[in-house]
């Protein structure tokens, strides 16, 4: 059994277990849509891992566009949906007061888009390949932007953002693991480290989410 197959199998098993637990916890009435989005992301992670395991067993090229690649893209789309909209407007109303946080969060993605645009032109042969490459890179960068912004932005009343900082830290690490594997190439030591980070993040997502959703209530004092 190859190293790639071992890492893929472990990744898939962990994602499957966490997804099943998350579905039992959050796919019920009254649970926040935010939490359901994260569980859907974990479901995509399981399917992506399963398909990649089959690709490795079949000795197929994992660097080509495949259903497993679309599963990975779907993960980041669910992460974006979970952090965009009501969750983002909760801590950022779009005013100039929060401009510095938007700029700080956007610096790294902006630099990486420029670098990847230059390098993608050298690594790809056709405009279609370059477009696909940019999509698979820009979407994780958008997810990184929201995770990082919610990690550094000031808290709101009730401590909602503070209690979700661990989750957003995991999101940042998750994006970093993706790019580590992307640049390093399959089977390299850095690729193996990225899979270990993926496993740690996957295991930690539900505890972090559970902690973040338990917003403390303040009991009124008796006079």
CA–CA separation, 148 and 166 (whole Å)? 11
Residue pair 28/212 in contact by the 8 Å Cβ criterion = no
Summarised one tens digit per residue, pLDDT across range 35-87 is 888 999 999 999 988 888 887 766 655 555 566 678 888 999 999 998 887 78
- State which H helix or E strand residue 61 sits in: none
CA–CA separation, 209 and 223 (whole Å)? 36
Q: Which residues 6+ apart lie within 8 Å of 177 measured at CB?
A: 194, 195, 197, 198, 201
The Cα angle at residue 171 between residues 19 and 16, in degrees rounded to 5: 15
3-213 CATH fold: Rhopdopsin 7-helix transmembrane proteins (1.20.1070)
Domain residue ranges of the chain, discontinuous segments joined by +: 3-213
pTM for the complete prediction? 0.84
Summarised one tens digit per residue, pLDDT across range 89-135 is 888 888 888 899 999 999 989 998 888 777 765 555 677 777 777 88
């Amino acid at each position: 059994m190859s190293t790639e197959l071992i890492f893929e199998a472990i990744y898939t098993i962990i994602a499957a277990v966490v997804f099943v637990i998350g579905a039992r916890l959050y796919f019920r009435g009254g649970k926040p849509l935010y939490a359901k989005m994260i569980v859907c992301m974990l479901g995509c992670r399981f399917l992506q891992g399963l398909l990649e395991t089959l690709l490795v067993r079949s000795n197929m090229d994992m660097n080509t566009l495949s259903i497993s690649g679309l599963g990975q893209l779907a993960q980041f789309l669910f992460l974006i949906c979970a952090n965009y909209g009501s969750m983002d407007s909760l801590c950022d109303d779009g005013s100039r007061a929060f401009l510095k946080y938007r700029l700080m969060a956007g610096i790294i993605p902006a630099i990486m888009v420029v670098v990847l645009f230059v390098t993608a032109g050298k690594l790809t042969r056709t405009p279609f390949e370059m477009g696909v490459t940019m999509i698979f890179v820009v979407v994780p960068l958008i997810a990184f932007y929201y995770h990082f912004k919610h990690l550094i932005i000031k808290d709101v009343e009730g401590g909602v953002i503070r209690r979700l900082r661990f989750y957003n830290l995991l999101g940042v690490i998750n994006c970093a693991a993706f790019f580590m594997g992307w640049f390093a190439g399959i089977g390299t030591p850095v690729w193996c480290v990225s899979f270990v980070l993926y496993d740690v993040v996957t295991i930690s997502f539900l505890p972090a989410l559970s902690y973040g959703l338990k917003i403390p209530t303040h009991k009124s004092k008796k006079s």
